Amino acid sequence: MNRSVDPKHKAKRTSSTLKANSRQQDLFVPSHEDSLFSSNECRIVSVGKRRDGGTRYWCLQHKADATAKYGRPAENCRYSHIPPIKSDEILALDVSQYAGGIALWGAVPPVYDTTLQPLDRGIHVHARRSSGGHKEIDATYRSVRLLVGIKDLPKQELVISELDAIYYMVTSVFGYSMKYVECLHCGHPHLDKDWFSVHAHRSHLCAGCGKHFRDSDVAIGNPICKVRSVLGVRAQKPKTSKKQINLRQADYPGGIQVWGSNPAVVWTSKHSEEEEGVHVHAFREDGALAALDDTFSRVTVDGIALDPLMVRTLMAQSALPHISNRVIAINCASCGTSAFDAGEHAFTPKTQRRCENCGNESFETGRLRKVVGNPLVEILERLADRAPRPPQMHSLDLLPETL
């Protein structure tokens, strides 16, 4: 059951309702709040007209479209099925207590996973109290609240959501810069998701109030940019790992997990540098701690080499719903060379392509004619044939954002 507002009878109330409720989750939040959503009940209001003259509806609770056919309010918005964030899925982290440094990354499922580990998504956190000390925190959360002191002001909390972190990863992997963007109507921090996370633009649809606004710059918005600015985090290029590994799946009956590295959302350590490469977890048995947990410049599994760029690209592609099921292995019909679509082609499906090796032009056919080529898809299938058990097929279940 939702609470919708009929524009014919509540027109005067709608404007004030938007102002009162649109600032659902400011970057700074009072420390006594213990969840991002207090209820999963939709709060639907009208937010203007569509291009066809119908009314647009928006859910202020879940910050999502709630327009049904013929310009009517939907029973539930498109995000209503997402469960509220529980208190144990939120990490409150006092930055001053971890002099050894904290590091946060956008966490998505491994591109290859033969373990029985649960789905890992959100914000992965490392925290050390002293330089070189052990990791007191090494876990993943749906939301992180950083307690920080800003000059002489009382400590405040900076909030990072799982979607902020995931799309920061996506935008970073594809080499685009981001900025802090704020709605001109309600002041809500703006996050560009899916298609918009890899295409700079000026016009934005605010998730807080459901209204369109134009920013001063053509850019990609992510609230994390404000967090980094407040913390004084400087952009730094990760160094390529010097480590290499050649492993056999049979030696790790508990399974292996493979990710591509991606730039940290926050990295405060002054005595260590981020490493770039392929990150691997390997388990000797189910339920045990990882026997291997490290980043390598070169990873070979059962004699099959994993290209770090392909791994990193496939990981980011998995978080873009608009190309879901369109990333496949494509081999040239003339010379057999595998097609690896890089740059903007990595997230732009197409029907026609030219082989980089022999120049042969081909056209894709079938139901999904517009596709993206990544040879790693086929490589992982070969690894799966040699695995002690079938790999897990994870899905982030993110919704497409293309309008």
Given this model, what pLDDT does residue 39 score? 57
Confidence of residue 4 (pLDDT cuts 50, 70, 90): very low
* Strand-pair category, 72-73 with 137-141: unpaired
pLDDT at 120: 84
Token representation of residue 206: 């605010």
What's the predicted TM-score (pTM) here?
0.88
Maximum mean pLDDT: which of 15-19, 34-38, 274-278: 274-278
Q: How far, in Å, are 34, 134, 155, 195 from residue 129 at the CA level?
A: 25, 8, 19, 39
Q: What is the pLDDT of residue 242?
A: 96
Say if residue 85's pLDDT is above 80: yes
Per-residue pLDDT at 25 exceeds 80: no
Reported as a single tens digit per residue, the pLDDT across 54-84 is 899 999 999 999 999 888 999 999 999 998 8
Residue 19 pLDDT > 60: no
Q: How far apart are CA 168 and CA 230, in angstroms?
A: 17
> Where residue 35 falls among pLDDT bands split at 50, 70, 90?
very low
- Which band of pLDDT confidence, cut at 50, 70 and 90, is reported for residue 403? low
Q: Tens digits of per-residue pLDDT, 283-299?
A: 999 999 999 999 999 99
- Tokens at residue 18, please? 């938007």
What is the average pLDDT value for the chain, to the nearest integer?
A: 89
- What is the structure's pLDDT at 5? 44
Give the burial class of 345: count Cβ atoms within 10 A of its Cβ; 0-12 exposed, 13-18 middle, 19 or more buried.
middle
CA distance linking residue 383 with residue 385, whole number of Å = 5
The pLDDT, as a whole number, for residue 130 is 92
Strands in 298-301's sheet, in edge-to-edge order, are: 244-247, 298-301, 304-306
β-pairing verdict for 361-363 and 90-94: unpaired
Residue 36 predicted with pLDDT over 60: no
Q: Which has the closest alpha carbon to 164: 214, 227, 219?
A: 227
Residue 260 has pLDDT above 90, yes or no: yes
In the prediction, which pLDDT does 402 show? 66
Tell me what pLDDT residue 243 has.
97
Check if the beta carbon of residue 275 is closer than 8 Å to that of residue 295: yes
Q: Check residues 157 and 5 and name the one with the higher pLDDT.
A: 157
Over residues 118-146, the pLDDT tens digits come to 988 899 999 999 988 899 999 999 999 99
Q: ∠289-294-295 over CA atoms, to 5°? A: 155
Q: Tell me the pLDDT band of 277, cut-offs 50, 70 and 90.
A: very high
Q: pLDDT tens, 326-338?
A: 999 999 999 999 9
HSE value, Cβ hemisphere, 13 Å, CA-based, for 229: 9
Query: What residue ranges do the domains of the chain occupy?
Result: 3-25+32-73, 87-231
Render pLDDT for 361-380 as a digit per residue (tens, 0 to 9).
Answer: 988 877 778 999 999 999 99
Closest CA to 66 of 213, 210, 188: 210
